[in-house]
Amino acid sequence: MISEKENTKISKLLSLVLRHQPEAIGIELDENGWADVNLLIQKVNEAGQQLDFETLEFVVSSNQKKRFAFNSSNDKIRANQGHSIDVELNYKPQTPPGILYHGTAAKNLDSIFEQGLQKMSRHHVHLSADIDTAIKVGQRHGKPIVLEVDAQTMQNNAIEFYLSDNGVWLTDYVAPKYLKLQE
Ligand code: HQG
């Protein structure tokens, strides 16, 4: 259908416009992060990237991390997480596993143990239930290091967690006292 390379290119463009800069192609997201599918396809084409509905469906369904989702009538699309712009995804608080993981780069550790895990430019701190995912996330930033997050104690202290539709655990902030290096 489309090559892996083309798929990645379209996926990156979707991440850009559905998480960070809808104005880059001249669309708007509603308050819950949804974009109109027909308008998105039109504007993506006008921006010089060929795209039809069938290809968009393929990019969404083949995306390993399930970054994007259609609504039930397939006329709206949004990113499941990772936004830097202000949208309300309406995820409900959920009980996390006792331990969650965060992958980062070794160079960030001093600062993290001093200030805690901050959401930086995103809406939430991103955590995973498994170590392998955390290693992959950390690799994006440099030499990967995995931190163990004491989600059980955080939860006991009434700190809320959310689970995105693509399985990423989200929270607002992780204080240093809940963090330790994964052995
Ligand atoms: C670090 C990808 C210094 C934090 C992934 C991370 C994920 C600090 C970086 C999702 C810090 C932010 C999110 C502090 C946090 N001092 N560094 N106090 N607090 N940091 O990309 O978690 O491919 O915003 O450790 O798979 O790496 O986009 O967050 O290294 O799920 O779908 O600041 O993005 O998914 O980096 O990744 P990011 P992340 P997608």
**Interval 142-163: pLDDT, tens:** 999 999 999 999 999 999 999 9
pLDDT band at 75 (very low <50, low <70, confident <90, very high): very high
Ordered structural domains, the chain, with CATH: 4-79 (1.10.10.970), 93-181 (3.20.170.30)
Q: Is the CB of 123 under 6 A from ligand 1?
A: no
- Specify the ligand 1 atom closest to the Cα of 65: 32
pLDDT band at 1 (very low <50, low <70, confident <90, very high): confident
pLDDT band at 11 (very low <50, low <70, confident <90, very high): very high
- Specify the ligand 1 atom closest to the Cα of 140: 27
What average pLDDT is seen over the chain? 96
Alpha carbon of 54 to those of 50, 68, 109, 136, 163: distances in Å?
12, 15, 44, 30, 29
Q: Is the CB of 139 under 6 A from ligand 1?
A: no
Q: Mean pLDDT, to the nearest integer, of 102-116? A: 97
Residue 120 buriedness (CB in 10 A; 0-12 / 13-18 / 19+): exposed
pLDDT band at 183 (very low <50, low <70, confident <90, very high): confident
* pTM metric for this prediction: 0.89
Query: Ligand 1 centre from 134 Cα, in Å?
Result: 10
pLDDT band at 121 (very low <50, low <70, confident <90, very high): very high
Q: Is the pLDDT of residue 55 over 90?
A: yes
pLDDT band at 72 (very low <50, low <70, confident <90, very high): very high
Residues 131 and 147 sit within 8 Å (Cβ to Cβ)? no
Separation of alpha carbons 63 and 141, rounded Å = 21
Alpha carbon of 104 to those of 40, 133, 142: distances in Å?
33, 11, 8
Separation of alpha carbons 31 and 169, rounded Å = 21
Query: Ligand 1 centre from 172 Cα, in Å?
Result: 13
pLDDT band at 42 (very low <50, low <70, confident <90, very high): very high
Residues 165 and 136 sit within 8 Å (Cβ to Cβ)? no
Query: Hey, whose CA ends up nearest to atom 12 of ligand 1?
Result: 120
Query: Ligand 1 centre from 104 Cα, in Å?
Result: 7
* Gyration radius of the chain over CA positions: 18
Alpha carbon of 182 to those of 102, 120, 131, 137, 155: distances in Å?
10, 22, 9, 15, 20
Q: Is the CB of 122 under 6 A from ligand 1?
A: yes
- Specify the ligand 1 atom closest to the Cα of 111: 16
Mutate which of 20, 140, 146, 162 for ligand 1? The one with the most ligand atoms within 8 Å of its CB, which is: 140
